[in-house]
């Protein structure tokens, strides 16, 4: 049994993805466990590698890199919105069409979970806007906390109830309890073991003026979706 994790470093999305594919190709069976892919510049690409990836996806009749990336972060839509609140509202409206165009979108998309996480009361919780608000508030402090954004077990629904309670008390939410985690997996809703979502969560850490992110996948198709996943996560990290 392999116990050590494979750690793969790449400067750009393209380099990191290609290195991970090459590492996978050395296995007798096309599968790896506990792989860590680190990307130094998560929005940078190498055009020739991106073009080759799209050509391969087209030849295999898979979705393009852009289409996959859009399930995590709709960059074009974000570029035409004023802020994250408007982006969340517009995406929730667009999703009604997305789930009709592709059956794979019916359980949800990753970005939908970020802006409309299943919560109590029949309405979704906008985790993205909540996270941005907390980060902006923290960066105004002279000594912004770096470990404040670690993962915990609190669900988005719990955070929503906490925020509603604070609002009822006419007080600010308890910032000491805030996390920088965007949850995707919802245990009560995601009961199909072979279906959406493969991405479990995104955790953010702020340190010395830089925002870092860890994205955890329980499983991932590296050829079919890997490049688009890496790119979408990078675009999400770069969103302001």
DSSP conformation letters of 58-107: HHTT---HHHHHHHH--HHHHHTSSSHHHHHHHHHHHHHHHHHH-GGGTT
Q: For residue 197, say if its preceding peptide bond is cis, omega within 30 degrees of 0.
A: yes
d(CA 158, CA 170): 18
pLDDT of residue 127: 87
pLDDT of residue 143: 65
Q: Profile the chain (240 residues) by mean pLDDT over runs of 10 residues.
A: 78 98 90 92 97 98 95 94 94 85 72 82 79 83 55 38 42 40 48 58 83 88 95 92
Angstrom CA distances, 174 to 160, 183, 203, 205, 211, stand at 12, 19, 19, 19, 22
The residues, ordered by sequence, that sit 6+ positions from 70 with a Cβ below 8 Å of its Cβ are 76, 111, 232
How many CA atoms lie less than 13 Å away from 234 in the CB half-sphere? 25
Cα 132 off chain centre by: 14
Residue 129 tokens read as: 């806007």
Residue 54 tokens read as: 């799209």
pLDDT of residue 183: 52
Contact 84, 128 (CB under 8 A): yes
Q: Which of 38, 52, 12, 72 is nearest to 223 (CA)?
A: 52
d(CA 55, CA 92): 31
pLDDT of residue 225: 94
pLDDT of residue 46: 98
């Amino acid at each position: 049994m392999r116990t050590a994790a494979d750690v793969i470093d790449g400067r750009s999305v393209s380099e990191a993805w290609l290195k991970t594919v090459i590492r996978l190709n050395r296995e007798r069976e096309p599968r790896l466990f506990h792989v860590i892919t680190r990307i130094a510049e998560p929005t940078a690409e190498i055009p020739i590698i991106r073009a080759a990836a799209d050509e391969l996806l087209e030849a295999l009749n898979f979705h393009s890199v852009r289409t996959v990336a859009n399930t995590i972060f709709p960059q074009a839509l974000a570029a035409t919105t004023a802020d994250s609140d408007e982006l969340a509202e517009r995406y929730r409206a667009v999703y009604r069409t997305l789930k009709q165009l592709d059956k794979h979108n019916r359980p949800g998309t990753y970005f939908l979970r970020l802006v409309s996480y299943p919560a109590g009361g029949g309405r979704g919780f906008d985790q993205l806007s909540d996270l941005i608000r907390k980060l902006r508030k923290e960066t105004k402090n002279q000594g912004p906390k770096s470990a404040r954004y670690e993962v915990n077990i609190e669900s988005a629904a719990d955070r929503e109830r906490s925020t509603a309670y604070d609002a009822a008390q006419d007080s600010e939410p308890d910032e000491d309890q805030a996390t920088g985690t965007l949850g995707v997996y919802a245990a009560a809703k995601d009961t199909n073991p072979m279906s959406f979502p493969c991405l479990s969560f995104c955790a953010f850490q702020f340190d010395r003026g830089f925002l870092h992110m860890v994205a955890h996948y329980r499983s991932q198709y590296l050829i079919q979706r890997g490049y688009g996943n890496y790119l979408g996560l990078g675009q999400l990290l770069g969103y302001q």
